[in-house]
Amino acid sequence: MFQTAFKFYKSRNPPPSFENVLLIGSDHPNLKTVQLVHDDIKCFTGLQSPKEWKVYELVTRPGLLVVANPFTAEAQRHWMMRSLTDYPTHPNTTNQSSASQLIQEVGCSWWEMMQTIANPDERRKFAKSLRWATLGYQYDWTNKVYDEARREAFPSDLGALVRYVAAVLGYDRFSPEAAIVNYYPTGATLAGHTDHSEDDQTAPLFSFSFGQPAVFLIGGTSREEQPDAILLRSGDIVVMTGASRLCYHAVPRICTDAELPQEMRNSAARWEVGNLAPQRDEVLWDGGIQQYIQYSRININVRQVLRENQQTLARPELG
């Protein structure tokens, strides 16, 4: 069931229908509005007042929450820039091990390295080659575990953002300790999987989307269950809590607004209105990030690795 749905939305020829894709904010029986208990919390820079937030729960997947874009346009661009210029840098790990070594040798960041490539085709190829970066606890993709020996400092501003969102939703003890930043060029996919490497698998998982829209599949604890398809747009936040925390999920399609039905198109407008105050941000935006995001999606998913009051992943030696 899950794989059949994945292949359906991944298909290029013929392209899929979006008629069964849930649009957040629409009047659909599978979406119910969640009333926030903590909407009186002081506003966080770059976010709307929690009193203005629109939060939905997927009826068919209890615990799967979606916050419909609470970001300002400026804040969306800020997190896009952080993801591209700061996160794929040492000591964080990326999928480009050989490129990372070269970048360290020449003394510049991944983004700065891309700016040195004059040939447009080679530059686009280099941009598409970045697929993930890990923050905080570095993830061992081979053994699918976190490494205590590679516990790096979690970005303080991202940590503050996630703790704020968690507190508004009633998870005020959530501790952001690891993140995987995914970079998706249009046409890319993420296969069905569950997230179960964390010692604390009861803490929620927070997923922030920026850039081009994506079809997100959320199923059950078995691949045999029929998944639901949700359209995620720039600024939307998915929070996997409760029973949904260990459900199979996937991203079978990254698309541009032009591929969507007319009523689903408006992603770009979510980040193109407003000014960029710092001069550095304006230079970076005009210097390539705006072009990059026209054909890409960035996803920042944040996890709590340790159980409450647990200090380390290291296991005590016996004897």
Residues forming the annotated binding site for Fe cation?
193, 195, 249
Q: How far apart are CA 196 and CA 132, in angstroms?
A: 18
Dump strand ranges (E) for the chain: 21-23, 31-33, 54-58, 64-68, 93-94, 132-140, 145-151, 178-185, 190-193, 205-211, 214-218, 228-232, 237-240, 249-254, 296-303
User: Are 239 and 198 within 8 A, CB to CB?
Assistant: no
- Report the distance separating Cα 78 and Cα 97, nearest Å: 26
CA-to-CA distance for 131 and 183, rounded, in angstroms?
5
Which parts are annotated binding residues? Answer: 193, 195, 249
Q: How many CB atoms lie within 10 A of CB 277?
A: 10
Residue 116 φ then ψ, to 5°: -85, -10
Is residue 130 within 8 A of residue 124, CB to CB? The reply is: no
Whether cis (ω within 30° of 0) applies to the bond prior to 261 is no
CA–CA dist 9, 15 (Å, integer)? 8
**C-alpha to C-alpha distance for 279 and 292, rounded to whole angstroms:** 19
